[in-house]
Amino acid sequence: MMEENRNLLQTINFFAGFFEDQINYIEKSCFIEHPMSIIYKEYLYVGIIDALSKTVYPKSRNRKRFVDFIDNIALWKYSNKYSLPHLKQVLDLTENTSFNPLFNYVQKKWSIGTLG
């Protein structure tokens, strides 16, 4: 039984070490002074989160699996917040006038470029 526990611990350490190595590699990567380099790194980080989410929710579809992982495993305090650009896109599609005050607020904030 003790040998089995040792093997399990080694497997867990190998798994965690692999993802730690990937994160360290991304942090140290340089994308030749390209203005989009920060976005490239973000895509790579999202790929890591997606890979980890597959291990926790293997039967879920991509979006649900990713969101569930962030909500339930990562415990990120801002996970249920909306970005102003996304909120604007949703409000642009609605014809419900009860959202007009929110639409006007978002329109004002977005048009002057202040996000706070």
Beta-carbon count within 10 A of 57 CB: 18
Query: What pLDDT, in 10s, does the model give residues 3-44?
Result: 888 889 999 999 999 999 999 999 888 777 777 888 888 899
Report the amino acid identity of residue 41: K
Residue for token digits 């291990």? 55
pLDDT score for 115: 47
Query: What pLDDT, in 10s, does the model give residues 38-82?
Result: 888 889 999 999 999 999 999 999 989 998 999 888 888 887 777
Sign, CA dihedral 56-57-62-68, equals negative
Does pTM top 0.75 for this prediction? Answer: no
Q: What is the CA radius of gyration of the chain?
A: 20
Alpha helices in 35-99 (DSSP H): 37-56, 62-68, 84-93
